[in-house]
Structure 1
Amino acid sequence: MKIGCPTEIKAQEFRVGLTPGAAAEAIAHGHEVLIQSGAGEGAGFPDGDYSAQGARIVDSAEEIFAEADMVVKVKEPQKAERKMLREGQVLFTYLHLAPDPEQTHDLIASGATCIAYETVTDPRGGLPLLAPMSEVAGKLAPQMGACTLQKANGGRGVLMGGVPGVSPARVAVIGGGVVGTHAARIAAGMGADVTVLDRSLPRLKQLDDMFRGEFKTLYATQANTAEVARASDMVIGAVLIPGAAAPKLISRADLSDMKPGAALVDVAIDQGGCFETSKPTTHQDPVYEVDGIMHYCVANMPGAVARTSTLALGNATLPHMLALADKGWKQAMLDDPHLLEGLNVHGGKLTYFAVGRALGIDVTSPQLVLKSA
């Protein structure tokens, strides 16, 4: 199989879909690897690192999409890239289709087989290809929020850890999953007064047992969420419904009750955001203000630490990429029902029910698609 990796073209995206190590593994399995020139530079991998492993360096994304049987990326294909997808080609990347009808319709029209990292599961019910980037984003969220709180950036001018005689920042983390856990750990480590809200009592108990009071936990009723948000200097949105649009947990009306200059950090923005006033931003222009509340809503937060993120993502995706290349997508999914959960689009059909519900598009069962492919 020919495996192609283009340069990411989303604004301020420095990650790359294949590391030189992953390229070497694929070549050792008998596959040909094509890398667009410069694709790895943002993550600290020059072209020579790839060619030394036997990969072929090509000049343009057009060559990648024209030749590759499988295209491996990081972020969802941009409009220019979607035009180059073709029937029978496999796309393996993050998609986040639920809040993006234009991309969804374009992928359906392409006829390609589109497999989303964020909906691949594991036997424990986890999301193994989303988890490493959730860990990175969770650890980054308090750092980015702390910068947003600085007065020069429009924030309240509150220091996360305070100083002797002055209270630390109060931080609310909505969602106790992978993102929320890492966000809470880092915020607490910075000295903040942290509360994690979640609707799963077993998860709240687990967090209490694991962290022994390092941060507080609270059941996430609407009333509790609103009360904690009003008292907080920073609110980190860390909710996830796999493959689906994120629920809106703080409305615009709620902003008037919050502290002026408080920071909202929406880690769920790539699934549409969990605050009503959220809209995607970039690393180049990450923060905006609504009703006196500062919003940090960068849709590719892990891209800020591109080398760490690329290595972490590559570790997670490599076994699945090799399975798809070695066996072909159909046999790989017959052998692994958890990989089948990643199938979002195939042959002009949407195959992921949460996306169909979010966008009002008819869905064909992935099991049915697999039988007829």
Structure 2
Amino acid sequence: MRIGVPKEIKDNEYRVGLIPSSVTELVQHGHEVIVEAGAGNGAGIDDVAYRDAGAELCEGPDLIFETAELIVKVKEPQPLERTKLRRDQTLFGYFHLAPDAQQTRDLMQSGANCIAYETVTSLTGGLPLLTPMSEVAGRLAPQVGAHWLEKPAGGRGVLLAGVPGVPAAEVVILGGGVVGTHAATIGLGMGANVIVVDRSPDALRKIDLRFGNAVRTIFSTRAAIAELVKRADLLIGAVLLPGAKAPKIISREMLGVMKPGSVIVDVAIDQGGCCESSKPTKHSDPTYIVDGIVHYCVTNMPGAVPRTSTFALNNATLPFVLAIADKGWREALRSDAHLRAGLNISDGKITSLPVGKAHGLPITPVEEVLGL
């Protein structure tokens, strides 16, 4: 199979779909890999490393979109890229389609087979291709929040750790999953007072077992959140409904009781955000202020640390890329129910229930598409 890796063109996105060691594995399996020149530069991977791994290099993305059977990306295809897709291609990457009607329509119109990293499942019920980037984003969130809490950055001038005689900042994390757990790890390490809120008793038990009394856990109710936002110096949105829009946990009215200059880092923004006041931002213009509250809603947070993120992502995606390349997309999905869960759109049809429901569009069962 001919596999293509274009350079990411989203704002300040420096990750890359395949690293040289992944290319080597694919080449040894008898596949051709074509990589756009400069695709790995932002992650500290030069073209020579790709050439030495057996990849063909090309100038610009056109040859990849014209000839590749499988395109491996990181972030969702941008409008220009979506016009280049064709019916017999398979696209493998992050899409986050539920809050993005235009991308959904464009991918349907392209006819391509779109397999989303974020909805591939595992035997344990997890999301193995979302997890590494959730870990990165979770660990970045307190670090980012600490910066924007500084007065020159627009925050209220609070040091996350405090100092002797002055209290540490209050960090409230909405969601005790992968993002929330890693955010709590870093928040604690930076010396903050950390509270994790979740509707799942099991998630709260896991947090308690991991951190003990160092982290407070609170069952999520509207009343509990309404009280907690009053205390928060930093609020981290870490809510996830796989493949679906994030629920709006923080209402616009709640901003009025928050401390002026406090910060919201909405990691859930990829799926629409968990605050009514959240809107997507980018690394080149990451924040805005609503009712005196600093909002950080960058949709590709892990792109800020592209080398770490790229290698972590490839560790997770390579077995699935190999399966698709070795067997073809249909047989790979037929033989693996977990990879099958990743198919969101195929031949103009939506195969993901959350995506179809989000946009009020018909849903075609993936089994029907695959002839199962």
* Band the TM-score falls in, shorter-chain normalisation: over 0.9
The answer for the alignment partner of 1:276 in structure 2 is 276
Corresponding residue of 1:134: 134
Query: 2-side partners of 1:8 and 1:124: how far apart?
Result: 31
Give distance in 1, aligned partners of 2:206 and 2:304.
30
How far off its partner does 1:214 sit? 2.0
Aligned to 1:289: 289
Aligned to 1:276, what secondary structure does the other structure show? Answer: coil
Separation of aligned partners in 2, 1:80 and 1:282: 18
Quote the offset at 1:213 in angstroms: 1.6
Letter in 2 for 1:121: T
CA distance in 2, matches of 1:172, 1:138: 13
Task: Give the superposition deviation at 1:339.
Answer: 0.3
Partners of 1:259 and 1:156 in 2: CA distance: 8
Mapped partners of 1:214, 1:325: distance in 2: 46
Q: Which amino acid aligns with 2:104?
A: T
Q: Percent identity?
A: 58
CA drift at 1:21: 0.7
Alignment of 1:188-227 (within 5 A): 188-227=188-227
- Partner of 1:91: helix, strand, or coil? strand
Alignment map for 1:76-91 (pairs within 5 Å): 76-91=76-91
Stretch moving more, 200-209 or 259-268: 200-209
* Structure 1 equivalent of residue 300 of structure 2: 300
Q: Give the secondary-structure state (helix, strand or coil) at the position aligned to 2:213.
A: coil
Q: Any idea what SS the aligned residue of 1:180 has? A: helix
Pairing 1:156–2:159 present: no
What amino acid is aligned across from residue 66 of structure 1 in structure 2? E
Separation (CA, whole Å) in 2 of partners of 1:212 and 1:186: 15
Matched residue, 1:343: 343
1:11-50 paired onto structure 2 within 5 Å? 11-50=11-50
What is the aligned partner in structure 2 of residue 95 from structure 1? 95
List, as ranges, runs of 4+ consecutive aligned residues in structure 1 with deviation greater than 2 Å. none
2:115 aligns with 115
Q: Quote the offset at 1:268 in angstroms.
A: 0.5
Amino acid across the alignment from 2:168? P
Match of 2:237 in 1: 237
CA distance in 2, matches of 1:271, 1:27: 35
Residue 88 (structure 1) shift: 1.1
Return the alpha-carbon distance in structure 2 between the equivalents of residues 76 and 234 of structure 1: 29
Matched to 2:94, the amino acid is Y
- CA deviations over 1:81-113 (Å, ceiling 9, x no partner): 000000110000000000000000000010100
Separation in structure 2 between the aligned mates of residue 296 and residue 203 of structure 1, nearest angstrom: 25
Following superposition, the deviation at residue 72 of structure 1 comes to: 0.2
Amino acid at match of 1:94: Y
SS in 2 for 1:213: helix
Q: Which amino acid aligns with 1:55?
A: A
- Provide the rounded CA distance (Å) in 1 between the counterparts of 2:305 and 2:226: 32
Secondary structure at 1:52 match in 2: helix
CA distance in structure 2 between the partners assigned to 1:218 and 1:99 by the alignment: 28
CA distance in 1 between counterparts of 2:206 and 2:18 reads: 35
Give distance in 1, aligned partners of 2:270 and 2:22: 26
Instruction: Report what 2:371 is aligned to.
Output: 371
Shift of 1:299: 0.4
Q: Distance in 1 between matches of 2:226 and 2:44?
A: 43
CA drift of 1:203 comes to 1.4
Deviation at 1:202, TM superposition (A): 1.4
Q: How far apart, CA to CA, are the structure 1 residues paired with 2:77 and 2:203?
A: 35
Alignment-derived partner of residue 178 in structure 1: 178
Whether 1:74 and 2:81 are equivalent positions in the alignment is no
Please give the TM-score of this superposition, normalised by the length of structure 2.
0.99
Q: How far apart, CA to CA, are the structure 1 residues paired with 2:323 and 2:276? A: 40
The residue aligned with 2:253 is 253
* Displacement after TM superposition at 1:360 (Å): 0.8
Q: For the residues of structure 2 that align with 1:67 and 1:182, how far apart are their CA atoms? A: 40
Q: How many angstroms apart in 2 are the aligned matches of 1:332 and 1:101?
A: 28
How well do the aligned residues superpose, as a CA RMSD in angstroms? Answer: 0.7
Residue aligned with 2:371, SS:
helix
Q: Write the distance in 1 (CA, Å) between the matches of 2:31 and 2:53.
A: 12
User: For 1:197, what is the secondary structure of its paired residue?
Assistant: strand
